[in-house]
Amino acid sequence: MMKRHHTMLGSAVVASALLLTGCQAGDDATDYDAGSADKKTAGAADDKDDTGHAQELAAAQPRIVTTYEGGILTLDATTLDVIDDTKLEGFNRLNPVGDGRHLMVSVAEGFRLFDAGVWTQPHGDHTHSYAADPQLTDTVFDTELPGHVVNHGEATVLFGDGDGKIQTFDTENFSDGAPKPQVTEVDEPHHGVAVKLADGSMLHTVGTEDERSGAKVVDSSGKEIASSDECPGVHGEAAAKDEVIALGCEDGILLYKDGKFEKIDAPDSFGRIGNQSGSDESQYILGDYKVDEDAELERPERVSVTDTKSGKLSLVDLGASYSFRSLGRGPDGEGVVLTTDGNLKIIDPATASVTEEYPVIDEWEEPVEWQKARPTLFVQDEVAYVSDPGEKKIHIVDLESGEVMAEETLPHAPNELTGVTG
């Protein structure tokens, strides 16, 4: 295993588990089905920044957030105790804003802001951490068919598939409530994604409702800097070390680095990479890999590892299948995949090989409908959260040892799974 850099969350989870025992959009998710919450005015949210309404903590308190059919559960990240059960009808999607506190919930009218209720504020030369009740705010950022949410660097970007609207925020501004977005639009609406880069330019996909072909980068005035039409079926994004941005294609992967696009071909004529997972600590991109163009649902047993420096794309045989919610990255950039044999496979991306295998849950099969709940992986710092909707459980796994440090049965079967650091 790689050298581990311990963090506050990992230490807190370990300590909590010791006390308890006595010693965590997919590539096929192009159809929209969001919750049916009533739209309210997209004004300032009651975000509880008045510390008189919150409890001050000795340290930041991470939380896990998961959806179920009809609502959102907020859990303590170390004990998995239910902190709040927020009712929201329908199938709901979750995406972190990137500020350690807020999430976007995809609803019929757009992106609705969810306050997970934990945050840290600077006070002179130190910080104070707080906790309060989670809240589904009244703030909705209007768009048609809300799609991908990307937080990269200091920016958060929302992409509307139905109207091609790109809404960009300085991530830190969410601490003040409901910030006003900078709004731009792509040429034609499509199921796409956008990323704001460190130099202020914007990378976004290019396509139509029927076909997606590539991506381009524009400066703040809208002037094109670079473009590529060599990425059929472009989907998803991930960032690697040195701000290399990767986009999945039906025949490989498209990289944007050093101001230019670079296409890396798949070893098969149809080799689709639709979901990727990146790490700021790593030059490697972890991706899925599918080769059956006609399959209603392919259940692949290989993942892709792309070296963004050398341009080499390698395939790793896992010995079992996985889903679009199975990919993650550890704190040192290692790949983490939840496979249908119930195991977590740890991948060394430098050698494109499985180095560890940790049993967590029973065998499972990916459902055909992408909205249906299936075991899901979410990695936060040094630990993996693995859901088991069939058993209504979530497990906490130490990524270094493979130990299942805690597990909890929930009142509802978990579906989407994410978290905030506080």
Residue 38 has pLDDT above 80, yes or no: no
Tell me the C-alpha distance between 422 and 9, whole Å. 10
The two three-digit tokens of residue 148, written as one number = 């991908």
Predicted confidence at residue 5, as pLDDT, reads 39
The two three-digit tokens of residue 310, written as one number = 């050398």
- Model confidence at 322, pLDDT cuts 50, 70, 90, reads very high
- Model confidence at 112, pLDDT cuts 50, 70, 90, reads very high
Residue 37 has pLDDT above 90, yes or no: no
User: pLDDT tens across 285-313, in order?
Assistant: 999 999 999 999 999 999 999 999 999 99
**DSSP letter (8 states) at residue 109:** T
Burial of 128 (0-12, 13-18, 19+ CB in 10 A): middle
Residue 195's φ and ψ, nearest 5 degrees, are: -135, 130
Side chain identity at 62, as an amino acid letter?
A: P
Residue 264 has pLDDT above 50, yes or no: yes
Predicted confidence at residue 293, as pLDDT, reads 95
- Model confidence at 85, pLDDT cuts 50, 70, 90, reads very high
- Model confidence at 26, pLDDT cuts 50, 70, 90, reads low
Tell me the C-alpha distance between 165 and 204, whole Å. 11
Predicted confidence at residue 69, as pLDDT, reads 94
Q: Are 322 and 288 in contact, with CB atoms under 8 Å apart?
A: yes
Side chain identity at 48, as an amino acid letter?
A: K
- Model confidence at 399, pLDDT cuts 50, 70, 90, reads very high
User: pLDDT tens across 192-201, in order?
Assistant: 999 999 999 9
Furthest C-alpha separation in the chain = 61
**DSSP letter (8 states) at residue 18:** H
Measure Cα distances from 303 to 59, 253, 306, 407 in Å: 37, 13, 10, 28
User: pLDDT tens across 328-372, in order?
Assistant: 999 999 999 999 999 999 999 999 999 999 999 999 999 999 999
- What mean pLDDT comes out for the span 11-24? 36
Q: Are 304 and 286 in contact, with CB atoms under 8 Å apart?
A: yes
The lowest-confidence range among 24-28, 147-151, 287-291 is 24-28
Model-level pTM greater than 0.85?
yes
b/e string for 38-47 if b means 16 or more Cβ within 10 A? Answer: eeeebeebeb
Tell me the C-alpha distance between 375 and 172, whole Å. 32
As beta bridge partners, residue 328 has 336
Residue entry with tokens 């991306």: 349
Residue entry with tokens 């590529």: 228
Tell me the C-alpha distance between 416 and 413, whole Å. 10
Query: Which residue from 160, 27, 1, 174 is spatially nearest to 97, judged by alpha carbons?
Result: 174
User: pLDDT tens across 229-262, in order?
Assistant: 999 999 999 999 999 999 999 999 999 999 999 9
- What mean pLDDT comes out for the span 403-420? 98
Predicted confidence at residue 27, as pLDDT, reads 52
The lowest-confidence range among 18-32, 108-122, 193-207 is 18-32
